[in-house]
Amino acid sequence: MIDYLLVKHVHVTCVVLSGAGFALRGAWMLTDSPLIRHRLTRIVPHIVDTLLLGSAITLVVLAGWYPTTHAWVAAKIVALVVYIVLGTVALKRGRTRAVRIVALAGALATFAYIVSVAIARNPLPFG
Ligand code: HEM
Mutational test site, ligand 1, from 15, 60, 62, 110, max ligand atoms within 8 Å of CB:
15
Q: pLDDT tens digits for 66-83?
A: 999 999 999 999 999 999
Q: What is the model's pLDDT at position 2? A: 82
Task: Over range 95-113, report the average pLDDT.
Answer: 97
Domain boundaries, the chain: 4-120
CA-based radius of gyration for the chain: 15
Structure confidence at residue 94 as a pLDDT band (50, 70, 90): very high
The answer, yes or no, to whether residue 127 has pLDDT greater than 70, is no
The answer, yes or no, to whether residue 98 has pLDDT greater than 80, is yes
Q: Is the CB of 23 under 6 A from ligand 1?
A: no
From the list 21, 17, 10, the residue with the least C-alpha distance to 55 is 10
